[in-house]
């Protein structure tokens, strides 16, 4: 049974006055950034800084990727109220040992400062990813689809974008002030579409941000075997990708790219 969700989408941009290099006043568009405090069964959990495009899916994906909720059936409803900047999550049976499971908090890298609860490495060795392949033509198709996508970034900058592909077909595209929020939102969307970690073997995840340890772990948790970025990869991201057999491709622009791990899975 799917949870009841509000549709509390907020304005994504606003206009402000700025002065250019010629001393001229001009109107520019900037992205929104607003706090969203998550409450689970009336217990305050964490505050996320977000664009506000898909807050219910963001909360759902956050709970999924933090492994606080094992099944979407455990959630009765998610109610977002932007007047108070809160997301109220009501579960059907509560979350066992939530205090202990959220006592250790890691603030991750990147804009918006993502948070991960518990030991980031606790489940890494349990992740098993299929040896999926991606052709060069499919990769170029993905990069081109992102180039053509209408985005908040094009109109106002200062946001990250993430997308889920099946081959060259874009299934969903999400932007937020932090790449961690964008990947969590897509995780929430996948759950609502009944795309579990066992059904991610034909998927490719794209991000405009760096391939950090957090992005690698979350991709692995979502069962997605191929991760593409227009940016680079961190040392820990590289080590973890090698460890779990995740194919990572970075610096992907036009028809240029660097394959960092599992290069044999990128075919001609």
Output the pLDDT for position 103.
65
Contact by Cβ (8 Å): 159, 31: yes
The residues of the chain that CATH labels 3.40.140.10 are: 126-267
pLDDT for 60-79, tens place per residue? 999 999 889 989 999 999 99
Contact by Cβ (8 Å): 52, 10: yes
The residues of the chain that CATH labels 3.10.20.10 are: 4-120
* For residue 234, pLDDT beyond 50: yes
In the structure encoding, which two tokens stand for residue 49, read together? 């800084």
Output the pLDDT for position 41.
95
* For residue 157, pLDDT beyond 90: no
Say how far apart CA 120 and CA 61 lie, in whole Å: 16
**DSSP conformation letters of 237-260:** HHHHHHHHT-EEEEEEETTEEEEE
pLDDT for 76-122, tens place per residue? 999 999 999 999 999 999 988 777 667 665 545 454 445 555 555 66
Cα atoms in the 13 Å half-sphere on the side-chain side of 196:
5
pLDDT band at 230 (very low <50, low <70, confident <90, very high): very high
pLDDT for 177-200, tens place per residue? 988 999 999 999 999 999 876 667
Output the pLDDT for position 128.
83
pLDDT for 1-30, tens place per residue? 899 999 998 899 999 999 999 999 999 999
Is the CATH code 3.30.360.10 the one for domain 4-120? no
pTM above 0.85, yes or no: yes
Task: Compare 44 and 121 and report the one with higher pLDDT.
Answer: 44
Looking at CATH, the fold of the domain delimited by 126-267 is given as Cytidine Deaminase; domain 2 (3.40.140)
């Amino acid at each position: 049974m799917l949870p009841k969700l509000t549709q509390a989408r907020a304005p994504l941009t606003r206009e402000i006055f700025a002065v250019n290099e010629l001393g001229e006043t001009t109107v520019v568009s900037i992205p929104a950034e607003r706090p969203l405090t998550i409450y689970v069964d009336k217990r305050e959990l964490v505050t996320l800084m977000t664009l506000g495009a898909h807050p219910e899916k963001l909360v759902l994906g956050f709970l999924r990727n933090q492994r606080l909720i094992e099944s979407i059936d455990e959630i009765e409803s998610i109610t977002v109220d932007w007047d108070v900047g809160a997301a109220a999550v009501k579960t059907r049976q509560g979350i066992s040992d939530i205090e202990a499971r959220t006592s250790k908090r890691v603030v991750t890298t990147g804009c918006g400062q993502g948070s991960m609860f518990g030991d980031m490495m606790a489940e890494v060795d349990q992740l098993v990813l299929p040896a999926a392949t991606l052709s060069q033509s499919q990769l170029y198709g993905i990069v081109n689809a992102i180039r053509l996508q209408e985005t908040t970034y094009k109109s106002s900058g200062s946001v990250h974008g993430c997308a889920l592909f099946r081959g060259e077909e874009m299934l969903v595209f999400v932007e937020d002030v932090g790449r961690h929020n964008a990947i969590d939102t897509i995780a929430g969307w996948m759950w609502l579409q009944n795309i579990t970690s066992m059904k991610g073997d034909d998927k490719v995840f794209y991000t405009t941000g760096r391939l950090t340890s957090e992005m690698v772990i979350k991709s692995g948790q979502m069962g997605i075997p191929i991760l593409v970025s227009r940016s680079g990869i961190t040392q820990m991201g590289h080590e973890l990708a090698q460890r779990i057999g995740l194919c990572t491709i970075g610096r992907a622009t036009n028809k240029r790219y660097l394959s960092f791990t599992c290069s044999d899975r990128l075919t001609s």
